[in-house]
Structure 1
Amino acid sequence: MRQLRIEVSGLQPGAHLLAPAGMCSPEDAVTATTVTGGEIITVALEPELGLAALWIEAAGTRLTLNHIIAPAPIGQGYPEAVFAPRVTRYTAAAADLAEASRATAAKAGGGRAGIDALVAEAEARFTYDHPEARFNDGTEAVPYLSCGTTPGSCVDINTYLVASLRAAGYEAGYVYGYFFPAEKGGVTHDMHCWVVTRHAGAVLDWDIAHHMKAGLGPTKPGLNPRPGWRVALGHSMGHCYRRGETTARLKLLAEPMQAGPDGTWQKLPITARLPAA
């Protein structure tokens, strides 16, 4: 058993937060969560995704979430909902991206070779960065990047990759949580995400961003191309959580988010710790 601790600051006393309750993955599962510095008011469900969010009221300006992490039982896989081809503006490929993705996979010979080709194509379209404006802001589908490179984070790269894979007929999902680099001793300040594919009975994880950041060369499958530890807390994009008459519509819920006065939800400064790492 391990304990994942998420320390949140910058809160307004009495503020309402949403935080992911966790999920099961082939490596581990969140089995329980407690909060200090606040109170869990209720648990809201995302019925399409099989996920839950903790609706929390802050007591002061800081609070801590403590997730208990247990090793996965032998044979546990990703939830089936990870691979469900939901149509949202974050996952549906624009017509030209869909056409190009099918052509790329077919040219490689289809099958696993087609997956490798689409991973390589997504890697070639981005340089790793955290731009203020994302490449798909304001679009109703994931656009085609036909030439050159575009700055993008792991979120951007994996948005593009999942849309490409699904457009080409592959089962693929977007998974997120935290990655704790070995050199930082089990501490991080931001979420991380990766892609999982399922084809011909083989489930593979892909982390293009880590290959880019570490200069590891062409992306190969595997969870930790950079030394470290990761915990999955959720999956997919396009979430909806309800509590009474309040509805939270989110791109994803990886980190605790605070409700704003205008109905939006904002990220907060966090420090995530995995002491057992």
Structure 2
Amino acid sequence: MHTRVTVTVQPNSDRSRRLIVPVGLPTPHQIPIHFEISGGLYSLAGESTTGQMAAVVRPISGQQVEIGYTYREGGTGYPDTVFKPSVNRYTRAASDLVNGAIRIAQTERDGHTAIQALVNAAAQKFKYAHPDVRFNDGCEEVPYLSCGLAEGSCVDINTYLIASLRAAGYEAGYITGYFFPEEKNGCCDDMHCWVVTRHNGVVLEWDIAHHLKMGTREICCGLNPKPGDRVALAHSMGLYFPQVGIECEKLIAEPAWISQDGELAKADISIRRQFAGNAPAA
């Protein structure tokens, strides 16, 4: 079985702008085997801290850009670089967060239960929402949330979780992709993200945001507590693409427009998924 994802990008009024587009990421469940773009010319740019690649697209004037991904079921696992942290404003934990994470971990009997406790602790800090002001806006490190509930999206929740896990000494990675809810029949509106941990060779996946959306703070490992399916696009936070002037960008997932000064702006996109028995060769 193959999964085909098509992302259509509407033209930008500034015809000098280019798009940055992730090319797909292998996981234990899927491996990307084909990537294609129509409606524009593209080259590949390397990210300097993780080694992953992205496509930089110069659209043909006035045309939509269509990006096609094909994934094959069964994967080789997450790349090792997923678990290697780069220290920046999106990943650096404040001292109070470091101390709090270590205290939680030290009360547990082993690393696996410590990871579960840190996941549950992060879930207790958030109410799922898309706030105009994020809990770490304007901060040079990930702040400790001491009391009450902060509003946060999957991006915010997983920023806090990754910082907590790494502060306590555990391997953790931040994954971006698309999630297709069962009820939307192969459509989704935007990106999604989740966390993977690796301890003593055991890799576990966590999706706090979907548990919160389903009304529970009792978090279990594993993907898709909310029925649906997903594909992975890229990983890590605080990304550098020097070829196009991007410095310490929070993440890449959906196609985004690159400004002259390397800032990213949201693109007008539509996202669809299909299943097929055959796929084009890579």
Give the TM-score band, short-chain normalised. Answer: over 0.9
Match of 2:22 in 1: 20
Give the match for residue 64 of structure 2: 62
Query: Given residue 253 of structure 2, which amino acid in structure 1 is its aligned partner?
Result: A
Structure 1: where are the runs of 5+ without partners? none
Secondary structure of 2:274's match? coil
TM-score, scaled to structure 1: 0.94
Matched residue type, 1:31: I
Q: Show CA shifts across 1:93-119 (max 9, x none).
A: 110100000001112334211111111
Identify the residue that residue 156 of structure 2 maps to in structure 1: 156
Matches within 5 A, 1:24-173: 24-40=26-42, 42-59=43-60, 60-73=62-75, 76-173=76-173
Aligned residue number for residue 258 of structure 2:
259
Instruction: State the Cα RMSD in Å.
Output: 1.5
Asked if residue 183 in structure 1 is aligned to residue 174 in structure 2, the reply is no
Query: What does residue 7 of structure 2 align with?
Result: 6
The offset of 1:175, in angstroms, is 0.6
1:176 match: secondary structure = strand
Give the superposition deviation at 1:215. Answer: 1.8
Q: TM-score, normalised by structure 2?
A: 0.92
Letter in 1 for 2:40: G
Quote the offset at 1:247 in angstroms.
1.3
SS at match of 1:220: coil
- 1:208 alignment partner in structure 2: 208
Structure 1 contact 237–251 (Cα < 8 Å) conserved = yes
**Cα distance in 2 between the residues matched to 1:247 and 1:29:** 29
Provide the C-alpha distance between the structure 2 equivalents of 1:30 and 1:22, rounded to a whole number of angstroms.
Answer: 6
CA deviation after TM superposition for structure 1 residue 132, in Å: 1.3
Summarize the alignment of residues 192-207 of structure 1 with structure 2, pairs less than 5 Å apart: 192-207=192-207
Task: Give the ranges of 4+ consecutive aligned residues of structure 1 lying more than 4 Å apart after TM superposition.
Answer: none
Structure 2, unaligned runs of 5 or more: 277-282
User: Structure 1 residue 23: deviation in Å?
Assistant: 1.6
**Superimposed CA distance per residue, residues 159-180 of structure 1 (whole angstroms, 9 cap, x where no aligned partner):** 0000000000111111110000
Structure 2 distance, partners of 1:115, 1:180, is 27
Query: Residue by residue, what CA displacement relative to the aligned partner does 1:78-98 show, whole Å, maximum 9, x if unpaired?
Result: 100111022111111110100
For 1:193 and 1:159, locate their aligned partners in 2 and report how far apart those are by CA, in whole Å. Answer: 10
Tell me how far apart the structure 2 counterparts of residues 11 and 34 of structure 1 sit (CA, whole Å): 20
Count of matched residue pairs:
272
- The percentage of aligned residue pairs carrying the same residue is 46
Partner of 2:279: none
Quote the Cα distance in structure 2 between the aligned partners of 1:16 and 1:144.
Answer: 37
> Which amino acid letter does the alignment assign opposite residue 160 of structure 2?
Y
Alpha carbons of structure 1 residues 45 and 72: separation in structure 2 relative to 1, 3 Å: farther
